[in-house]
């Protein structure tokens, strides 16, 4: 079982915790992570792109000149695709890009990323996130004490308005909840800061 140090918000080590190997100690499966990430990004697409076909462009109802005898190529409409201001042939239309992946694959992808965070020493465990008032300065000081720099994801076991609002103005820092995590956020943010309660909840959900 992987063992990791536990710190308080002042950056001092207070204990250590043994992580569940089934969640934090598996061999990362990059292919599954990639598959689930592509699915997540596809599902975020609005799919509202639209182009007009020759039937939808205004005008072009009359044949521009007679079929034969002019010396020019035959034309049926000034809104045919080869004309300037004509309709678009085979252009994109509104559609849904959504598709599903298996629940088992999603869970494996999350566990793979959590395990790679442990392997790369990018997982920081805090005994508790105790912010008494909404103050960005307090959160900045806590992250500095924990020597956490760069893009950071703070994962909470449940809603905590003081922590969430204190962290939302810090560049490169985002807060999320255990029940709303996704592959994209876990990959986008290099450091992952969790509390002991978050670790327990992750082990309950993903074991």
Q: What is the pLDDT of residues 87-114, one digit of tens each?
A: 999 999 999 999 999 999 999 999 999 9
Does pLDDT of 1 surpass 80? no
- pLDDT for res 12: 87
- pLDDT for res 124: 92
CATH architecture for segment(s) 3-45+98-206: 3-Layer(aba) Sandwich (3.40)
Does pLDDT of 186 surpass 80? yes
Tell which wins on pLDDT, 188 or 3: 188
CATH 3.40.1370.10 intervals, the chain:
3-45+98-206
- pLDDT for res 190: 94
* pLDDT tens readout for residues 33-88: 999 999 999 999 999 999 999 999 999 899 999 999 999 999 999 999 999 999 99
Q: Which pairs with CB-CB distance under 8 Å and at least 24 residues apart come from 32-38?
A: 32/105, 32/108, 32/109, 32/112, 33/109, 33/112, 33/113, 33/183, 33/187, 35/101, 35/105, 35/109, 36/101, 36/105, 36/106, 36/109, 36/183, 37/109, 37/183, 37/184, 37/187
Confidence of residue 206 (pLDDT cuts 50, 70, 90): confident
* pLDDT tens readout for residues 107-135: 999 999 999 999 999 999 999 888 888 99
Q: Determine what percent of the chain is predicted with pLDDT higher than 70.
A: 100
């Amino acid at each position: 079982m992987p063992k990791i140090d536990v710190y308080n918000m002042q950056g001092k080590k207070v204990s250590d915790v043994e992580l569940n190997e089934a969640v934090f100690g598996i061999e990362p499966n990059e292919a599954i992570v990639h598959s689930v990430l592509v699915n997540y990004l596809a599902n975020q697409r609005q799919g509202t792109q639209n182009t007009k076909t020759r039937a939808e462009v205004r005008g072009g109802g009359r044949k521009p000149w007679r079929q034969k005898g002019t010396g020019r190529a035959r034309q049926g409409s000034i809104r045919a695709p080869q004309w300037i201001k004509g309709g678009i042939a085979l252009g994109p239309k509104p559609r849904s890009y959504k598709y599903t992946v298996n629940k088992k694959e999603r869970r494996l992808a999350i566990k793979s990323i959590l395990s790679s965070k442990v392997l790369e020493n990018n997982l920081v465990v805090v005994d508790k996130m105790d912010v008494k008032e909404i103050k960005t300065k307090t959160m900045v000081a806590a992250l500095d004490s924990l020597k956490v720099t760069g893009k950071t994801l703070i994962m909470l076991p449940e809603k905590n308005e003081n922590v969430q609002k204190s962290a939302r103005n810090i560049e490169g820092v985002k807060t999320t909840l255990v029940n709303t995590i996704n592959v994209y956020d876990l990959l986008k943010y290099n450091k992952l800061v969790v509390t002991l309660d978050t670790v327990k909840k992750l082990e309950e959900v993903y074991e």
